[in-house]
């Protein structure tokens, strides 16, 4: 059935729907079948089969009358940390495994208003903490390229849902690379917007001064279409930005010419620890850009060596505070095993949270405790400023920074489970962007000799997602 759908972008799907060659119900059925036949990848936590098919009928009518929304024809999955009213909202955790969301996230409202169809909610690391999607209460997600390997995390389910053709687009979330890293491991594109560009209302908090919602897709134009709909000020999120939202779908059509923009590559991102094949591949891309006449020069981000420490200190501190609310009283799971209130709190949290979440809560509580606050938390904040200043300085000289997205390709399931530090080093090229609150994109850059994909990352100045999408186009 419908053999060509796999290669169509949103614009083409919309044209097929308009001309009547494709029916929206058949499109939804196509994706449902892909979900069904690839269950072993463990991607979806909830599939909204009936809702999706009903919406398809309603939206088809609008298409036929010529009054459908901007995203009619889009079938999308949502990471299970973003609320959809009356649907299970687990955050990949036992502690919320029986919790239904009571309202729609703003991004969900905006998608629905433009006639997107939400096909289900996808697996992720517990409370978005992880780089491999092995930390989910619902089990690991498998990489579709090689089922013995991880898809990356924490938005692994989102990445695989797109890479394995179970939907066209997925929304994920980032605190330190959770969109770009799995996009890189699965061979697709992932955009992390500027902090504040997309409302966080309805996104369950991990580290609130870092968290942002972002988009996975196979095609840059599709990502631009969705960005246009979900971005912009939201009265319900005081940290959402008032900056005007460009018409991304038009912006992306404007091709950058040599001389118009400058690129930099940070020497610190090509040092020890980077896989040789990835290094060669990315340097080749840079060479190619130069040969096409673009200005590319080496730049320096001198505080890069402090990124991982700073990121884990600050995000764990925020997480320990944000996760205090899961106490067995207000949400989800409550331990049966207690004879007084304190025991109920303790046992609920002991039984409800997984090992990685507990590690972060302990680390965060420690760095915030009196006596250690100045030594760790305050120092971390100062370092965050330094890292941000590195970027501010570089963006006076260049418009975009190019780097690998990850130091390696996808690793084997279980390979890094006993070594949290090795796991944390996955974020070495991505977490700086979240510390500095800037936007970045990962696009497919090639495959290693085992056939495993890796990504090229482009980082941009605050609120220049349109520029990022245009810069990314130069590599396609
Ligand atoms: N891997 C990082 C972490 O474990 C990033 C997570 C994220 O971006 N949500 O914290």
Tell me the CA–centroid distance for residue 438 and ligand 1, in Å. 16
- The confidence score (pLDDT) of residue 396 equals 98
User: Can you tell me the distance from the alpha carbon of 345 to that of 356, in angstroms, rounded to the nearest whole number?
Assistant: 19
Tell me the CA–centroid distance for residue 360 and ligand 1, in Å. 11
Tell me the CA–centroid distance for residue 123 and ligand 1, in Å. 14
* SS3 state at 3: coil
pLDDT in tens, 145-174: 999 999 999 999 999 999 999 999 999 999
- The confidence score (pLDDT) of residue 2 equals 52
Give strand ranges (E) for 114-188.
Answer: 117-122, 169-174
Residues of the chain with pLDDT under 50: 1, 3
Here the tokens at position 319 are 């997480």
Strands 440-447 and 453-460, sheet pairing: antiparallel
- The confidence score (pLDDT) of residue 368 equals 97
Pocket lining: 131 vs ligand 1, CB cutoff 6 Å:
yes
Which strand (E) or helix (H) includes residue 453? Answer: strand 453-460
Q: Which residues are catalytic?
A: 79, 154, 178
- The confidence score (pLDDT) of residue 331 equals 86
Pocket perturbation via mutation, ligand 1, pick of 81, 82, 128 by most ligand atoms within 8 A of CB: 128
User: Can you tell me the distance from the alpha carbon of 167 to that of 76, in angstroms, rounded to the nearest whole number?
Assistant: 5
Q: Whose CA is nearest to atom 5 of ligand 1?
A: 176
Q: Topology of domain 8-476, per CATH?
A: Amidase signature (AS) enzymes (3.90.1300)
What CA dihedral angle connects 323, 325, 329 and 332, to 10 degrees? Answer: -50
Tell me the CA–centroid distance for residue 364 and ligand 1, in Å. 15
Rg (CA), the chain: 21
Pocket lining: 408 vs ligand 1, CB cutoff 6 Å:
no
Tell me the CA distances in angstroms from 361 to 24, 100, 101, 315, 456, one per residue in order.
Answer: 45, 24, 24, 10, 32
* SS3 state at 183: helix
- The confidence score (pLDDT) of residue 317 equals 98
- The confidence score (pLDDT) of residue 93 equals 98
Pocket perturbation via mutation, ligand 1, pick of 124, 127, 131 by most ligand atoms within 8 A of CB: 131
């Amino acid at each position: 059935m419908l053999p060509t759908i796999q290669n169509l972008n949103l614009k083409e799907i919309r044209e097929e729907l308009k001309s009547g060659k494709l029916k929206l119900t058949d499109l939804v059925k196509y994706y449902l079948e892909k979900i069904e036949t690839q269950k072993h990848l463990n991607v979806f936590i909830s599939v909204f089969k009936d809702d999706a098919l009903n919406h398809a009928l309603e939206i088809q009518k609008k298409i036929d009358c010529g009054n459908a929304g901007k995203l009619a024809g889009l079938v999308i999955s949502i990471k299970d940390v973003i609320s959809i009213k009356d649907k299970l909202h687990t955050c990949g955790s036992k502690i919320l495994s029986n919790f239904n969301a009571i309202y729609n996230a703003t991004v969900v409202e905006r998608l629905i208003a433009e006639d997107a169809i939400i096909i289900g909610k996808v697996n992720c690391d517990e409370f978005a903490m992880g780089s491999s999607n092995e930390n989910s209460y619902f089990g690991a997600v498998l990489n579709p390229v090689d089922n013995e390997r991880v898809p990356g995390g924490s938005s692994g389910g989102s990445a695989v849902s797109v890479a394995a053709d179970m939907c066209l687009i997925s929304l994920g979330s980032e605190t330190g690379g959770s969109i770009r890293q799995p996009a890189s491991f699965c061979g697709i594109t992932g955009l992390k917007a500027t902090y504040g560009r997309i409302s966080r209302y309805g996104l369950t908090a991990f580290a609130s001064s870092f968290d942002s919602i972002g988009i996975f897709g196979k095609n840059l134009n599709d990502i631009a279409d969705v960005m246009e709909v979900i971005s912009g000020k939201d009265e319900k999120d005081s940290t959402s930005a008032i900056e005007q939202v460009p018409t991304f779908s038009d912006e992306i059509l404007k091709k950058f010419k040599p001389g118009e923009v400058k690129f930099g590559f940070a020497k610190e991102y090509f040092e020890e620890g980077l896989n040789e094949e990835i290094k060669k591949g990315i340097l080749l891309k840079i060479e190619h850009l130069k040969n096409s006449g673009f200005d590319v020069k080496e730049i320096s981000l001198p505080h890069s060596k402090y990124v991982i420490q700073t990121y884990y200190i600050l995000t764990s501190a925020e997480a320990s505070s944000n996760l205090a609310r899961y106490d067995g009283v207000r949400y989800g799971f409550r331990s049966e095993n207690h004879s007084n209130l304190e025991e109920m709190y303790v046992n609920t949290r002991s039984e409800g949270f997984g090992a990685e979440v507990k590690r972060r809560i302990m680390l965060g509580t420690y760095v915030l405790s009196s006596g250690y606050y100045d030594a760790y938390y305050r120092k971390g904040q100062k370092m965050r400023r330094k890292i941000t200043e590195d970027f501010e300085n570089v963006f006076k000289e260049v418009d975009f920074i190019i780097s690998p997205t990850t130091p390696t390709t996808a690793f084997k399931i279980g390979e890094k489970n006993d070594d949290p530090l090795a796991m944390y080093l996955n974020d070495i090229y991505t977490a700086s962007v979240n510390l500095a609150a800037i936007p970045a994109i990962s696009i497919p850059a090639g495959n290693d000799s085992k056939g495993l994909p890796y990504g090229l990352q482009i980082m941009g100045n605050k609120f220049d997602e349109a520029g990022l999408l245009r810069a990314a186009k130069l590599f396609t």
